[in-house]
Amino acid sequence: MTEGRKPKATVIIPNYNGLSFLGPCLEALKRQRCRDFDVLVVDNGSTDGSAEWIKEQGVSGIFLKTNTGFSGAVNAGIRASKTPYVILLNNDTEAEPDFVGELIRSVSRSEKIFAVSSKMIQFHNKELMDSAGDMYSALGWAYQRGVGQSIRRYNRPREVFSACAGAAIYRRNVFENVGYFDEKHFAYLEDIDVCYRAKIFGYHNLYCPTAVVYHLGSATSGSKYNEFKVKLAARNSIYLNYKNMPWPQLLVNGLPLAMGIAVKYGFFKKLGFEKAYTEGLKEGFATVGTCRRVACRKENLGNYLAIQWELMAGTVLYIYEFSRRQMGKILKKF
């Protein structure tokens, strides 16, 4: 940070048993051209020596006694920060030198921008995207824009449904209006949820292609699909829709949501995770009443209509991208 200036952002790194990733992640932040930021590591009750290493390095940290999940960790960091913006950054990432500066520049364009997602590239294949922001659909499916596709296709900024919280900047004071990350989620879909709430209140979420970060992926959970992730994501999908959709919107989307659940069940059955998926849904329906719903206000009607349009467009986009990928696989065989 430049001497005499207050930092514009706090980079919050949630960590759970990620000692082997912290060094490269923090070294990349030291190489940032923009210095108007602080770094805060929130350790989630790690048992691998992470807390001791963080203290030895002189890095600012919050040390939680137990694993509160992604939501609990980042909320602790957001509440402790004093800067206008917070940047959430996974510990298994390495940021390009312009990462912080480009995110700050992008979010500063308008006070109606809540979150900006970065250009996340696969760490082990730097020609392929990991995420260009998150999308949501009327089927109840959240998906990463551009995952597995060429990085050259995602060089333009655009509005997205949600920023991917693995590497994104947020306007801190908006959390006071729309609420923080839902700690009931623990992990998975919590970033879609908070950005959904922000959209209800009229805020926008963007994708910034000039803020580049390389992401290992699944460093904490260990794999793309496992029983823990499948169950938690299934449960949280119930929470997400119940909390954010007023009853008329739930009625309109009832059939697509049911279809989405049926298709996902078939998908996870093929992978051997149908039991975990079903258990997650059951837990979601059994405990959904404990969630705090977003109050439906007349002045937000236009925002609800815009969101519904996005959900429909997100469904079409998902089907198009899926068909395109499948066709590409078929053509490779000939």
Q: Is 283 helix (H, G, I), strand (E, B) or coil?
A: helix
DSSP element (H, E) containing 289: none
Reading the block at residue 258, the tokens are 């049911």
CA–CA distances in Å: residue 331 to residues 143, 324, 326, 334 = 24, 11, 9, 5
| CA angle, 15 then 226 then 76, to 5° | 25
Cβ partners under 8 Å of residue 161, min gap 6: 133, 134, 135, 136, 192, 195, 196, 199, 205, 310, 314
pLDDT at 3: 53
Which tokens is 263 given? 């298709």
**Contact status, residue 72 vs residue 183, Cβ threshold 8 Å:** yes
**pLDDT the model gives residue 221:** 46
Q: What counts of helices (H) and strands (E) characterise the chain? A: 11, 12
Distance CA 298, CA 152 (A): 42
**pLDDT digits (tens), the chain, 334 positions:** 445 568 999 999 999 999 999 999 999 999 999 999 999 999 999 999 999 999 999 999 999 999 999 999 999 999 999 999 999 999 999 999 999 999 999 999 999 999 999 999 999 999 999 999 999 999 999 999 999 999 999 999 999 999 999 999 999 999 999 999 999 999 899 999 999 999 999 999 999 999 999 999 754 444 578 999 999 999 999 999 999 999 999 999 999 999 999 999 999 999 999 999 999 999 999 999 999 999 999 999 999 999 999 999 999 988 877 776 655 555 444 4
Paired tokens of 13: 């790194």
Predicted pLDDT at 34: 97
Q: Contact at 8 Å (CB) between 25 and 57?
A: no
Please give the sequence-ordered ranges of beta strands (E in DSSP) within the chain, or none if there are none: 9-15, 37-44, 61-64, 85-89, 93-95, 113-122, 129-131, 134-136, 142-144, 158-159, 167-171, 204-215
Residue indicated by tokens 């258990």: 279
Q: Please give the Cα distance from 250 to 270 (Å, whole number).
A: 29
| Residue 323: predicted pLDDT | 73
How big is the CA angle at 321 (ends 316 and 326), to the nearest 5 degrees?
Answer: 125
Nearest to 314 by CA among 168, 158, 155, 141: 141
